[in-house]
Structure 1
């Protein structure tokens, strides 16, 4: 069933696809567009109005510092790291035209931590939607660096977690479709 004739939003949601950061090219979003994307991302479900997430923009002139941070963290946390792995971290730090680090920032509250973490994931997805709606392509990645205390501490505090790295740019080539899950397996009806 297609809903394209009823809503361009539904058509977009039916075809939404992340782009690979390594394939992103200029132009990327300017500062005003990034601020608008973050404002849209902040309009996410948030039980208790806690805003348990933060967005840290890594400006273009700080990408080499980010690459150095990744090298330092990788060398400290993995004594057997190879030069090829370090070079992969350098490439990661410099992909895409814009980079936003999303942090899950749960607060002490009667709202369960799990709900706050889900809200951070929803905010990250809304950031991707905002980027796509503005004509860009985006990708949400994690990798070892999302779980590194050294990397986390560079952007936040021990009470926070990196929800992901969102790369944004223009598509350098057509986006590939990937296999999607079987709807009969993931969408069932409860029969009580």
Structure 2
């Protein structure tokens, strides 16, 4: 698939199964993330890989966060299983560095670009991906457990694996509805 097709037909794969990325595929996925726009060369990202037992550890963190927030019953049990919806989850964290010309927002955007580049690199290699954020990305318990402090942010959880089905085609938007010229 050429780059333009990859970008213009991008889609998420919400249902993922094994196999997940190989080490070679993961290396290319991370390499793509490291090419994100990075004003000042600050490299304001960290990629936390969870697979195998790491998915269970991430599930335990989400479970404890849900429990601390008063979640009960089936929803509480579900929290622990969320990471196991894919063979691999990469938590993308923006690590903000103090810089007079590069504000935190720009560093968060850079990490977001890294997340998209990583998802596209996975898709280019025949894998599927789903970038999820949700309340856990902003939860104090999750942030603390993953070492996210101060202005740092969890940008999202990138679920990766083999798609169970072809992603639904996204509705086509009329580009003219989003353009304005000066």
Shared fold (TM-score, shorter chain, > 0.5)? yes
2:110 maps to which of 119, 142, 148: 119
Matches within 5 A, 1:39-188: 39-76=31-68, 78-79=69-70, 81-110=71-100, 111-159=102-150, 160-188=152-180
Deviations 1:34-60 (A, max 9, x none): 122112111011000001111010121
**Residue 64 of structure 1: SS of its match in structure 2?**
helix
The answer for unaligned runs of 5 or more in structure 2 is none
**Quick one: distance in 2 between partners of 1:71 and 1:27?**
25
Whole-Å Cα distance in 2 between the matches of residues 144 and 85 of structure 1?
Answer: 14
Query: Scaled by the length of structure 2, what TM-score is found?
Result: 0.91
Greater Cα shift, 62-71 or 135-144: 62-71
Q: TM-score normalised to the size of structure 1? A: 0.87
**Cα distance 1:83–1:55, how it changes in 2: closer, same or farther (>3 A)?**
same
Which has the greater radius of gyration? Answer: 1
CA contact (8 A) 1:103 1:156 kept: no
Query: Cα gap change, 1:90/1:157 in structure 2, threshold over 3 Å: closer, same or farther?
Result: closer
- Alpha-carbon distance in structure 2 between the residues aligned to 1:117 and 1:180: 28
| Residue correspondences, number | 180
Question: Gapped runs of 5+ residues in structure 1?
Answer: 1-6
CA contact (8 A) 1:42 1:123 kept: yes
Deviation at 1:64, TM superposition (A): 1.7
Q: CA deviation at 1:115?
A: 1.1
Q: Quick check: 1:141–1:166 contact (8 Å CA) kept in 2?
A: yes
CA RMSD of aligned residues (A): 1.6
Output the CA distance in 2 between the equivalents of 1:164 and 1:173.
23
1:178 partner SS: coil
